[in-house]
Structure 1
């Protein structure tokens, strides 16, 4: 081709030769290499050498594109049937869209020339070329705007047919969607046309379909079958959405689809479905509950009623089971703990199978189980409350921590239970106790009783396994028991070990002087702060044989530790005496109080002695003497009692000053139905280390300690905060004390007032609900 002069390079000269090639490209007809190259050159020439050439070229190109689109539209619209219409449109669109990639290439110079007239010469990233944009916009404004409603309606009819189980070519719907997605030339929002048209139509059609279908199915088949239907349809629609909706370009169509499905299939029937929840939980229908959970978890606030139903079930079921077993569990701590663990395992299995251990349901289980554990309707512990205006009242609390401590004692002491269990089984059961203990609100009660039992085991040497005893202390530390409490228990073990060494030294020192004393006495010298209670000091007149040892022990200890004073706790002491009568000779393991009573018959074995005489001889307090005598005249584990009394009484309260007691000459041990002439029996039982006052004192001690703990915690908070309001103070206080007990609002208020009265803190002058620390 000859070179053109600037004057000759006019649009009117070049366009007639360019147009046939342009039309071939628009119609997807073959173009040879020479025609392709000539088109590049002609566009270049027109844009560079004709001042108005670019605009004329753009306009002429637009007219030919629109003309082609008009013919394409007429070819599509000749089909009336939905599938045929969609096939024709997809075919025409496919050809045209392919040419959207090829036609713009020769017109690069046109784009440069037209851009020079605009402020922004540099094309933005992702922006369509001018010719490609012209093609897409022309298709959109011409054919698409005119027939998009028919396209959408036809596509949605096909999707509805699929929902009804009819087969069709799914590519037809996908092809329509792709045209919607690819039509947009908007750089900022590539999916605008798709979202405003195809996606909206798809969601409207889905909602319309299920608004008609779902209520009919629910009414005909019931809630439980409807849940399966809804679950199945949700999965179907998600799968269908992945085929027919746009998933690329970061599109959220599937999320919008799922929300729409959940709304029309689940949310609209939430109340009806949830009415079945409580019944399913009661009947342990875990498969149905799991299905309900999977549906309701998609609904805003759908889970909350299920959590409430679970909590209500656990509380009512747990308390009902406890009530039914009340007679057994109130007297047998083993049965009680087993019952609690059985409930916990049952509720845990329900949450696992029905709700896949979802944290929200685990929290509800814990909350409800805590209510069962701390309930006071089955049995309760009465803690004394002292108030200046009303005197002494009692505050009921769960007896659970006391029974847990009793059960630990059964496992750690030499009992029939601990003897039949292996070491691993004992450890497993102790771990179970710690699991339940986690839910106990007032752990300080457990601590108090656990320490009392441990004291008894260490004093009487009745621990089944010393290693387990020390392990238990560490396990209590691991589950968050207060450090000062655990440290005090650890100190008790240290005291016992030190005492063993002292005892051996005492025996060695006196073996040569008096061989009998070395063999017959075993002393324990313990730290009073870690072990004793005030009620442990009970006066008693000891037998002469025991009284003689005391000065020797005190002299030995004085030489070892100058300046320290020994206090004798006879309540904690015990020994073995030989009882001889007409039947035979028997070794009796007795408390010091029992020994003091029995020694009254040492010189006159067949005499009758009055209650009044025994009181004068032993110098025991009335209450302790009654308990001790009752243990010798009515010991539950033997048929023939050590002592007899007259007249007969039904309880220790019935003893009076004239009641006569005598050594039973018919006493003997019966084994396998035969009377034994020799044997050994332990008469200590649960008498040791407890007094009439000790139970009441324990409960008072718990309350006194709580008062001190609350005061200590308030001062600690005030010292750190300097100034704090009442609500914040109470919140922080509960956080500090929750591992020991849950302080009542009344207790907190009383201690705040006490601290204000004693100038530890004061109220703010401007706000009485704000407190200020006073150094």
Structure 2
């Protein structure tokens, strides 16, 4: 009985419902009464269990009939654009109804799904409308499948005509895409149909177009014009893709990746082959364009970075070698050359690569090679370090207090067998700083701001120097000389330089020692004033003393014995007695090679004041009682008690001082170097010595023969280099212990990495040096190897 009732309800309701449904499908007007009747009829049909399936099937049949009629109207058009227009018009009308028609059938959908609790609906996403899905699936299965390929091909041909410069209605392609996007009824992947069909076809068609066009362009116009072509087409395709592809998807990115591949990556070798030439010729606009293209290709920029590094290293070294005769004789020209190279390469990176961090890093790496290259200037550190103790005897100009320096870990340094030549750049940078900070013709012609600017330039180059400890060693020696001889051009700049060194990351212990030197000089000035107030007037007018602390002024140069003139010997006991009253328990040590004075020299020409070193003074005073005699080399050695190397150098400075035309001392036989002096060589005072200005002899005047002899002995260079190596050994050992104290246990590779990180601001330790110091520390039981792994080290408390 219920079955008959169900059939009766559906059969009576459907004839009333169908006309309204057809009107809705055809977008014809529906009255409010008809709309309400449709809701009621659906409700009546759904009251019975058998009614909903019958209603769904009948609805599907009418929808399919409507779609077939629409298909016939579309297929009636043979011309491509007319076909697309007809399809898009039919689709848009149908798709609009997909949003309206399901509304009266909500109860049907609920009946077909089964009862769903309100709580479940709130908890989960609402289900896709069954009627809407039915409509979309029906369209997809019939008209869309039948003409899908034709639609797709037509749309792609229209896009191709646009690439060839023709104009068409872009809405045709956009409409086709919209149908692909909206047709999908899969709620988990709304773009499935679009992605598998339209997107894939669009990308393939684009790739196929440029697969033919790109090689033609490269062959016809060459790399430079092709790069402009590729950049233009990439921009065009990106704009076109934003118009024709689905915006809320990854389509544009996928297309651009394929375009980059076919337009750029496929010709990467040919494009990059031009990079070295463009860099060399400073073709910045073309390099900028090349970077834009290669930046789109994975690892595409890497060869450009290599080319830039090679260019900077090669051009920089070639430039230095071309001027080797000039720069080897003049530290100012050497530093200016380095700075000019840095500015030139920085300008290239800015103009061609817009200061891209990757290219700045490449510039820094290559410039560091130039700065640290040892082919132009070479500093040979000793191959083997002596096994003596590490306590150093500090210098002092006339008098210095001696303090014992701690020896750190190593009281007997291990041998250093590196023997690798290093760049002399840090030494020359220190020399240049000295020229700027000392009273020189260079510093006198520059303003204070110009000197500061040039010092800042030095610090810029210093940033790239690997062996910064060498710079600090020479900078400290020059500073010592300037402070002792009172030759600083600007004391404020001197102290500022120390702070600038701190700012650029120089090791704190180095910088602190420099700062202490200024404090010592100020304390020494007070002591000197007190000494003058307490001693005889004759002494006060003729002597100045500097008493300095060993901790700040320490260096490895040996003290040199010399027999002082009696006039100086008389002062020493008084100075020592004065100091003992001030500081009991401290010992003074005289450093005569750092002392200087002024003597009055008289001959038949005139009377001259001559600034001389203590060694020069000792030699000249040998003639004080016998001014006209000739004295042999051997007798001068006995009279002065100077070591042979120092006596030779001192005599040579008096016989062949480069800045004067008439020398103070004459040697017989004449020689070409200090090594040519023999025991029998005779020396005598030149009675015709005079100061010559503008070709005229002067009867009065002052001349400085001190030159650059101060603080320098025959062995000082070798000792400086040895002390650098010795200090490096101590630094490596201290750093290893510091790391192991913190880590307790560490592998060899980790240790080397951390060690380089700690020491990089001073120097880069070689693997050989690290290995030797590890072995030394193991031997002396500071560390040990792990029982189960020889490449792991353990700290021994």
TM-score by length of 2: 0.93
Between 649-658 and 383-392, report the one with greater CA deviation: 383-392
Superposition pairs of residues 121-136 of structure 1, within 5 angstroms: 122=121, 124-125=124-125, 127-136=127-136
Q: Which residue of 2 aligns with 1:66?
A: 64
Separation in 2, partners of 1:394, 1:765: 34
1:549 deviates by 1.2
1:287 deviates by 1.0
Which digits, 9 at most, give the CA deviation of each residue in 1:69-91, with x for residues without a partner?
10111111111111111100111
Give the 3 Å change call, closer, same or farther, for CA 366–393 of structure 1 in structure 2: closer
Separation in 2, partners of 1:632, 1:641: 7
Give the 3 Å change call, closer, same or farther, for CA 8–150 of structure 1 in structure 2: closer
1:135 deviates by 1.3
Which digits, 9 at most, give the CA deviation of each residue in 1:451-482, with x for residues without a partner?
11111111101111111111111111111111
Q: Which residue of 1 aligns with 2:214?
A: 214
Which digits, 9 at most, give the CA deviation of each residue in 1:490-543, with x for residues without a partner?
111111011011111111222xxx222112211100012321434241111111
Q: Which residue of 2 aligns with 1:86?
A: 84
Separation in 2, partners of 1:533, 1:610: 34
Superposition pairs of residues 718-757 of structure 1, within 5 angstroms: 718-757=740-779
Partner-residue secondary structure (3-state), 1:768: strand
Determine whether 1:407 maps to 2:432. yes
Separation in 1, partners of 2:171, 2:21: 31
Instruction: Decide which of 560, 573, 594 is 1:551's aligned counterpart.
Output: 573
Between 91-100 and 51-60, report the one with greater CA deviation: 51-60
* 2:416–2:725 contact (8 Å) kept in structure 1: no
Q: Which residue of 2 aligns with 1:360?
A: 358
Which digits, 9 at most, give the CA deviation of each residue in 1:301-342, with x for residues without a partner?
111111111111111111111111111111211111111111
Between 205-214 and 658-667, report the one with greater CA deviation: 658-667
- Give 5+ residue unaligned stretches, structure 2: 387-413
Which digits, 9 at most, give the CA deviation of each residue in 1:520-570, with x for residues without a partner?
211100012321434241111111111111111111111111111111111
Partner-residue secondary structure (3-state), 2:547: coil
Q: Which residue of 1 aligns with 2:98?
A: 100
Determine whether 1:453 maps to 2:465. no
- Give 5+ residue unaligned stretches, structure 1: 1-5
Separation in 2, partners of 1:392, 1:661: 44
Q: Which residue of 2 aligns with 1:339?
A: 337
Q: Which residue of 2 aligns with 1:482?
A: 507
Partner-residue secondary structure (3-state), 1:590: strand
Q: Which residue of 1 aligns with 2:266?
A: 268
Partner-residue secondary structure (3-state), 1:675: strand
Determine whether 1:593 maps to 2:615. yes
Partner-residue secondary structure (3-state), 2:612: strand
Q: Which residue of 1 aligns with 2:396?
A: none
Separation in 2, partners of 1:197, 1:615: 103
* 2:556–2:723 contact (8 Å) kept in structure 1: no
What's the RMSD between the two structures over aligned residues? 2.0
* 1:414–1:463 contact (8 Å) kept in structure 2: yes
* 2:284–2:351 contact (8 Å) kept in structure 1: yes
1:390 deviates by 11
TM-score by length of 1: 0.96
Separation in 2, partners of 1:745, 1:129: 73
Determine whether 1:25 maps to 2:24. yes
Q: Which residue of 2 aligns with 1:12?
A: 11
Q: Which residue of 2 aligns with 1:296?
A: 294
Give the 3 Å change call, closer, same or farther, for CA 125–709 of structure 1 in structure 2: same
Give the 3 Å change call, closer, same or farther, for CA 736–591 of structure 1 in structure 2: same
Partner-residue secondary structure (3-state), 1:567: strand
Between 667-676 and 457-466, report the one with greater CA deviation: 667-676
Q: Which has the higher contact order (CA 8 A, sep 6+)?
A: 2
1:659 deviates by 1.9
* 2:418–2:768 contact (8 Å) kept in structure 1: no
Instruction: Decide which of 245, 250, 255 is 1:252's aligned counterpart.
Output: 250
* 2:6–2:51 contact (8 Å) kept in structure 1: no
1:656 deviates by 1.8
Q: Which residue of 2 aligns with 1:196?
A: 196
Superposition pairs of residues 168-183 of structure 1, within 5 angstroms: 168-183=168-183
Superposition pairs of residues 650-729 of structure 1, within 5 angstroms: 650-729=672-751
Q: Which residue of 2 aligns with 1:3?
A: none
Between 694-703 and 35-44, report the one with greater CA deviation: 35-44
Partner-residue secondary structure (3-state), 1:739: coil
Which digits, 9 at most, give the CA deviation of each residue in 1:229-263, with x for residues without a partner?
11111000001001100112xx1111101101001
Q: Which residue of 1 aligns with 2:368?
A: 370
